[in-house]
Structure 1
């Protein structure tokens, strides 16, 4: 006679059900936790990219007033990664730019932007 077909006890099927339910809950929780870790890493990378853009944008606005070329590239090495700014000059105040950012973990992102410079 098999243990699972013992008709005299009623506790064993309940124990099997509770163990199976517990394993399902634990497995789902682990999967959810791994997804949350991945989402957090992506959000951290996005924050680094936004920080790189802000820092390079500000630095570019300061540096472009000192540049004599109407187009070219400027490279910045910042704490969270590297930024390459490709720029051209539309008129004396406007520059179309392409910010190519790479974080210290290897994530890359491009932003096309038009910058207006206020000479004071």
Structure 2
């Protein structure tokens, strides 16, 4: 089963994305954010309701130092087998690109199934 890395996974859109991936796809999750207690609370809820593995990493994406520390922690988890090797990042593969006419267009993905780019396999 894939593992999704969700920044801000403990609140707002991140929380809802976490719930959706756990409930509808059974994906394991890595929640990254500033509020570790909130992430632990959500992790316990998701694990109990959906029987998925949820790991929390304290990370402030506004701080390069914090992102580097979180990245090192996550890399260590993948290498140790704590987090699955099929780690995925980003919510969609849709990318903007300029067409010949110079207008931007965005690729689409199926709304019924999430896609993501694999960062470790």
Which structure is richer in relative contact order (CA contacts within 8 A, separation 6 or more)? 2
Report if TM-score (shorter chain) is over 0.5.
no
- Bin the TM-score by the shorter chain: under 0.3
Higher strand share: 1
Greater C-alpha radius of gyration: 1
TM-score calculated relative to the size of structure 1:
0.24
